[in-house]
Structure formats: C-alpha cells, structure tokens
Copies of this chain bind each other. A is one copy, B any other.
Amino acid sequence: MTEAPPKRRTRGGGRAGAVIRRGTSVIEQMPWNPPVNIDRPTEPLTPEGVEAIHDGAMRILEEIGIEFLNHEALEILRKAGCTINGENVRMGRDFVMEWIAYAPSEFTLTPRNPDRKIIIGGKNMVFGNVSSPPNYWDMARGTKVPGTREMCRDLLKLTQYFNCIHFAGGYPVEPVDLHASVRHLDVLYDKLTLTDKVMHAYSLGKERIEDVMEMVRISQGLSHEEFDASPRMYTNINSTSPLKHDIPMLDGWMRMARRGQGLVVTPFTLAGAMAPVTMAGAVAQSLAEALCAVVLAQIIKPGCPVAIGTFTSNVDMKSGAPAFGTPEYMRATQMTGQLCRLYNLPMRSSGVCAANVPDGQAMWETSNSLWAAVQSGTNMVYHAAGWLEGGLIASPEKFIMDCEVLQQIQRYMNPEIVATGPDEIALDAIKSVGDKGHFFGIQHTQDRYSTAFYQPFLSDWKNYEGWEAAGAIWTPERAHLMFKEIIASFEPPEMDVAIRDELADFVARRKAEGGAPTDF
C-alpha cells in the first residue's frame, strides 16, 4: 500500500509562498501569479512563410498521410470522411480546418485547489516541472542514478513549493523502484497529496489513464458528471515521428477527449533524424502530426480543449545526439507560434538543454529555450524546471536554478516596470536631487523601494568579497542547500482526511487487482 499518510493537521498546511528563514538571511519568493505575456511575439516568418508551412502541413495530411495504429481511431476517422489505406490516414485541408475550428482558443484547467487553476491560451503563460527523466542527479550524489520514489517525492515537493511552477507535469523523475504495473498509482497518490496543482496523466494504456482520471476525480470530491463538465487535468501525447500515432497514446487521447479533459499533442520532430534537416520542413511535419490528432479529438467531442506542442529541435550532425536550446530550436519554436496563432490554438513548448550538470551551459541553453517560449507566445511551458541531459536527468539544483529564471520572466511581464505616468517619469524627484546627492533617501524612492525591483531568491548579488566571506558558494551548491532546506521544512497542502483515505483505498484496491498490464 501507499506509505503512511502525513500526520493529520488542521488548516494552514500549504506554506508555498511563505517566507522561510535560513540563518540570518531570508528566502522570499514571488506569490502565485501566472504571467500574462505582454510582448508582441517574435515572428521570423513573413505571411508568405506562414502560408508555405501551412501548405506543407496540409499537403502532408492530404498527400502522404499519417499512420494511426489504433483501430478505434481509424474507424472514427473513416466515418468522419478521411481516406484510410490500411493504417494510413489522409484528410483534406478544408476538413482539417473545419474540425480544428471547434477547438477553443483558450481553456481553464482546475486542480483540487481552485486557487491554482490555470488558463491555457491567449496571452497566458504557465510553467510546469520537468517530466519523465528516468534518471536523477544531485550535488550530494554527484553522479547520475536511476530515479526512485523518494527522489520523485522530493521533486514533487519542489513543484508544490515554488509559486512559479503552475502545473504538475508527468513524473518529475521515473521512480523505477516502483513496479510499472502500480507505479502510476503510487506516484499519483504522491502527486495528489504532496501538491494541489493541475495534474497530468500519461496516455499509457486504458488502465493507467482511467485510474488517474478516477484518482483526480476523487481528489476533488467530484461526481463523474462534475468531472466531465470541465477540464480538471490533462494528458500530453507524442506522435512517433515520422508520421505515426501509436496505440496507447491514441487510446488515452480518446478517453480524455470523451471526458472533456485537457489534451496536448507534441510531436518529437528532431530535424535531421525524425524530420527534415530543414527547420521549416520539421515544423510543417510536426504540425501535420499534431493537427490530425486535434481533428480526431474534435470529432470525438467537438469543442474539447486541446493545445499544440512543439518539440522541434535539431540533432548534432556529428554524433546524431539531440541538441536543445539551439538557435534552430528557438526559431522552430517561434515559427510554430506563428502557425498556432493561424490555427487559433494554444501552444506548448519547453525549457530544455543538452547539458549534463547544472552549470553555465545548462543555463544558457535553458535561457535560450525559455526566451523562445516567451518570444513564440507559448502558453504552456513544459519541463520549465529541473531538466538536464536532453531530458534524461532530473536535478533538484537545476529545478531551483530554473525557478529563479522563471520568476524573472514572471516579473519581466509585470507592466508596472514600463509604466510612464508622471510619477514614473519622476521629474520632481530628478529636480529635487539635481546634480548632487543620490536617490536612495528621497521620498519618491522610499515610497517604492520595497516593490520597485525584482528580488532574487537564489542569485547572489553580493560583491566578490561578500560572496567569499559567505563561503564562496557557486550557484548549484547554493541551490543544493536550498533544496535540502525546502525538503526539510516542507509541509504538504491541506487535504480532507476522508478524501485522502478514499485515495489510499483506491490505490490499495487497484493494487490488489494487479494494477495495469506491463506488456507495452
């Protein structure tokens, strides 16, 4: 069964956002406040370029087709009017555009804590934790090790702790010490009890996705009808590029669509490997693979909430290794953003890097990918914190370092910084200081200094001598200390005892039934 539930407490559990003290210094984070992207997107494509990529995506769907390995999906698409040859599905552009027009341009995902609901679409931007690395690395271990439930729980605590993490992605690390047949039960129990943010379900066979939907429903104390009435969770599927959707992913996709839950489809089109070496071709292929899944969902339940993901990057042509946060990755993300706006669909991208440890390379690659998310008008940023080694490693230090960058993006989107009223132009203040003295002490400064500027929780702004006196601690070591402290003082968000018991009972029963098949 699941481990012993945390000690029962009354209200006051969720301490995310509270100030914690460490020695004489204070760690303070920004409150929950998902950013609204006020920047005009960066648009490298001309209108003709947008049309060329759109035309390419449509011709792929019309002339080449996509393999749908799931027979139920094939039957649905056949009935709707697609051309089916074996498992190959072709569809015309008018048909595509007609069906995707049913998809909303914006939707809301509501978790068990309604204060943590998020809007996907429009100018809204939300960040999620790293998902699905099989391995883990931290400064104390100093080497790559397979993920465990304990590591997964620690990363879930970070997911809950940081206010700039707005939704829970997949497993922040794969707990390979849990048998695959019951892993989803234990991890979802952990996710639902350790966090109160929006939940994700893997589309890995019907038992898993049905179990997770049921656990999310229980966690929110909803009837089945209430659960179906609005999106309470989401799944993310990847096509098997090139040009293929597999059985379990499509199964989960269709089950979630029927129940009106959030859907994200993210082809993994590495240019030069699973997609053309040219970025426009890789983006066109990615869109074709995504749009046909959107069509399927809309046929099943017109108006169900769906977002298009991009994972288009390039390989290292010397070694074939995937590269992330590259110039090509940035441009592919921006181009995808232009097409998502053409299709009037929300967009997902990621915070990614190829670096193996949380060093300078990790941060310039991750910064590149996060700024590309901003520039592209991305709504949902997956893997926004904790990702290393092209997604093969989860790291708590990287998680915390990324959160520092995410908070800065959140602050960057605060329109107050660029306000230009008379109080901000501050002519009187400038006149009062004149050419002598400084602005530290004047009233105009005193009235604003506590909120005027971004305040980091991890960046060290001391001068060299001050930093040296404090131990000369490099960034990943500082993040490691913070990690240990957050875990040590973590208090899970409040949960009704009856609900927790119901969840635990569900897990116990499903385990007794043998969990989910593992023959995939």
Instruction: Show the binding face of A for B, using Cβ within 8 Å.
Output: 38-40, 42-45, 48-49, 52-53, 55-56, 59-60, 63-64, 66-67, 88, 135, 137, 143-144, 242-244, 271-281, 284-285, 314-321, 323, 326-328, 330-331, 335, 354-368, 371, 389-390, 392-393, 401, 404-405, 408-409, 411-412, 414, 417-421, 423-427, 429-431, 433-435, 438-440, 444-445, 448-450, 452-455, 458-464, 467-468, 472, 474-476
Contact = CB atoms under 8 A, between A and B. Distances in A.
A440 B433 CA distance: 65
Contacts of A389: 463-464
B38 A453 contact: no
Contact of A273 (B243, B404, B408, B439): B439
A277 B448 contact: yes
B317 A453 contact: yes
B462 A242 contact: no
Contact of A453 (B64, B284, B326, B355): B326
**Nearest 5 CB-CB pairs, A to B?**
A281-B426, A367-B367, A276-B426, A56-B425, A327-B412
Contacts of A474: 357, 359-360
Contacts of A38: 44
A430 B40 contact: no
A368 B407 CA distance: 13
Given A328-B454, A361-B458, 18 more contacts: A45-B420, A52-B421, A53-B425, A244-B435, A272-B449, A272-B452, A276-B444, A277-B448, A280-B424, A284-B430, A317-B449, A319-B461, A327-B409, A358-B360, A360-B362, A361-B460, A367-B371, A368-B408
Contacts of A335: 418
Nearest to A397: B360
A417 B452 contact: no
A287 to B, nearest CB: 11
Contact of A59 (B427, B452, B463): B427
Contacts of A331: 412, 417-418
A419 B52 CA distance: 10
Max chain B C-beta neighbours (<10 A), residue from A66, A242, A429, A459? A459
A281 B429 contact: yes
A163 to B, nearest CB: 16
B439 A276 contact: yes
A425 B281 contact: yes
Contact of A356 (B52, B411, B467): B467
B420 A53 contact: yes
A378 to B, nearest CB: 15
Contacts of A371: 367, 371
Max chain B C-beta neighbours (<10 A), residue from A43, A88, A144, A420? A420
Given A418-B279, A419-B278, A420-B45, A411 B327 contact: yes
Nearest to A451: B317
Contact of A242 (B39, B314, B434): B434
A432 to B, nearest CB: 10
B280 A419 contact: yes
A471 to B, nearest CB: 12
B452 A64 contact: no
A460 B356 contact: yes
Contacts of A284: 425-426, 430
A326 B454 contact: yes
A272 B284 CA distance: 49
Contact of A49 (B318, B321, B359, B420): B420
Contacts of A360: 358-360, 362-363, 401, 474-476
Nearest to A354: B461
A317 B274 CA distance: 50
A440 B364 contact: no
B434 A64 contact: yes
B464 A323 contact: no
Contact of A44 (B273, B411, B418, B430): B418
Nearest to A273: B438
Nearest to A389: B464
Contact of A392 (B285, B425, B464): B464
6 contacts: A272-B439, A272-B452, A275-B430, A314-B452, A361-B475, A364-B364
B278 A440 contact: no
A460 B278 CA distance: 23
A137 B467 CA distance: 14
Nearest to A49: B420
Contacts of A273: 438-440
A54 to B, nearest CB: 10
A433 B326 CA distance: 25
A424 B335 CA distance: 13
A374 B360 CA distance: 20
B281 A430 contact: yes
A320 B67 CA distance: 61
